[in-house]
Amino acid sequence: MAIALGITSTINQFLIALNFDVVGISAFAVFTGFYLGFDYIGWRLPGIQRVLATPDLNGTWKGKFNSSFVEDSDDSQSNGEDECGPRLEVQQRWSMIEVIFVNPGSSRSESTSATIRTDKSDPEILFTYRNRKTGDELPETQRIHEGTNRLRLVTGEEGNAVLEGDYYTDEQRNNHGYMRFERKSKRRILDF
């Protein structure tokens, strides 16, 4: 706080020297500026990242998942291994992280809470989600469910970032499975 007060005083003196009509910049305004700068940009700087050890997961991740869910016995998914082309979209700042999972033509999940653990050898993102299946022909009990994901950040064979791990759903659906995603872009691609 003392630093913010010192900076406030210096900024005010500088503006007065330039003949600006200064009412005064509060320490709160300076703190807010620093906080927002750190929240959106500062924490991603390489030197700060080494100290904080919080990975930048922003971007579009593409991959696959295997699910214990079986729709009906005539379906090719009857073996319980549903290989799909899903995507994760991650939007992250220092103070928040949001994960959107899309399984094209089937469902969309949005995180309801998320955290990153950095106390292990491989950082993990843990998040709960709410899933909305698409299709009016589905019974209400199958349209919405909740679940949890635990994905580890590892380095893939080609040196790329990979998120892999497990998921499970609530007791209503009682499914579980394995997911693996590779980062394709550090930007989100919202075309789904």
Compute the distance between CA of residue 186 and CA of residue 88 in angstroms, rounded to an integer: 12
Residues 83 and 158 in one domain: yes
What would the pLDDT profile of 5-37 be if each residue is shown by its tens digit? 677 677 767 767 776 665 656 778 888 989 999
pLDDT at 43: 94
Claim to verify: residue 159 and residue 64 sit in the same structural domain:
yes
Residues 70 and 159 in one domain: yes
DSSP letter string, 24-74: ---HHHHHHHHHHHHHHTGGGSHHHHHHH------EEEEEEEEES----TT
Supply the pLDDT for residue 136: 62
Q: Is residue 77 part of a domain?
A: yes
In a domain, 32, yes or no: yes
Range of the domain at 11: 2-40
**Residue 67, beta-bridge partner list:** 177
**Is 48 part of a structural domain of the chain?**
no
Domain count, the chain: 2
Nearest-angstrom CA–CA distance, 108 and 105: 9
Can you give the CATH number for the domain in which 121 is found? 2.40.128.380
Q: What is the dihedral of CA 64, 65, 70, 73, to 10 degrees?
A: 40
Single pTM value for the model? 0.74
